[in-house]
Amino acid sequence: MRRVRWLLPVLLGAVAAAAIGADSQKKANPEPFYRKYLVPGAPLDEKIIEQEKRVEEHPDDANLRNDFGNLLAERRFPAQAAEQYEMALKLDKKNFISAYNLGLVRETEGKTSDAISAYQRSIKRKPGFPQSRFRLGRLYEQTNHPESAVKEYAAALWIDPALRDPKRNPLVVDCELIYLASLAIYRQDVAVATMTESHVYFDTDRYRKLPTNRAIGAQEVETQAPTESMTPRDVGAPPTSPGGARPSEPARQAPRTVPVVGAPPPGMLAPSERPTPMPRRPAPPARPQPAPSVAPAAPPPPPAESVEPTPVPEAPPEAEAPPEAEPS
């Protein structure tokens, strides 16, 4: 009995210590705020649950945390999404997409200064990312910094000229300073237009299809193989190697035809292949044509009145010269 009395306090102390440890563990790892608002069976909520499990299995994967932040931002949990973006930026020092997505989240929260800092952070890590420069220029324009806005707009259009198209970038419609950026890079645009292989200088194919009005996933910016220049081959040039063949192509020879005994000469058809002449149809009989109608003779014109000629006055007779005197 004494042993039981002695063990009872020990057991109670152990239970209390376990409860205190569980409470401290719960305080150290509290349940995420968004979890109690998830609806089972909802497509977006199911994606969040699946992505949360992947992040728990690989907590050091920056791409998984970036995509997890995108799902939380779509579900309207901006604070939790920003937390995932910050973790992704700490895990990968070269990650610039999470900084861009963080700027989008800060814009939705109305935190303009934080959004500008996020876009500047993205540009610092990747100066050639046009989406960050365009969004930063847009915020500069809204905060009455026109010179900085034109500078960022010009950089974005210089990297990706397609950002001028509203179909490609709907946000360009309300940008009043975009025309100044176009004037600022006019000479560069003319220079690029004269280049035959501009992809050597710019990496625009990698970011050409990325949006400017939503968050960007990690798989959308994977490195792609450079596209080869589509230079047409000169098929009409004379062969440069002996034997009548080009160096990169085998010589193309016309197929040889074996003559057939009794075959007609080239260019003529065999009697059995000649088309049967169609019988000529007789010409239709000529239709009688009506006799031409004779128009009535026009009445003779009235006789013209006789006009008497005007008498011409006769010239006066010339005076006769006096007869010459005969010599005596």
pLDDT digits (tens, 9 = 90+) for 42-84: 999 999 999 999 999 999 999 999 999 999 999 999 999 999 9
- What residue spans define the domains of the chain? 122-219
Which of 13-17, 203-207, 240-244, 307-311 shows the lowest mean pLDDT across its residues? 240-244
pLDDT at 182: 81
For residue 279, pLDDT beyond 50: yes
Q: Judge whether residue 150 has pLDDT over 80.
A: yes
> What single string gives the DSSP state of each residue in 59-70?
TT-HHHHHHHHH
Does residue 229 register a pLDDT over 50? Answer: no
The CB-side HSE value for 126 (13 A sphere, CA atoms) comes to 24
Of the pLDDT bands very low, low, confident and very high (cuts 50, 70, 90), residue 141 is very high
102 with 70: CB under 8 angstroms? no
Q: How far is CA 250 from CA 91, 239, 246, 257, in A?
A: 54, 11, 7, 21
Name which residue leads in pLDDT, 198 or 55.
55
Q: Mean pLDDT in the chain?
A: 74
Distance (Å, whole) CA 135 – CA 213: 9
Q: Is pLDDT of 247 > 50?
A: no
- Determine the Cα–Cα distance for residues 204 and 198; give it in Å rounded to an integer: 9
pTM for the model stands at 0.55
Is the pLDDT confidence value at 238 over 60? no
The token pair that represents 23 in the structure block: 């409470």
Could you tell me the pLDDT band of residue 227, with boundaries at 50, 70 and 90? Answer: very low
The pLDDT of 217-223, averaged and rounded, is: 71
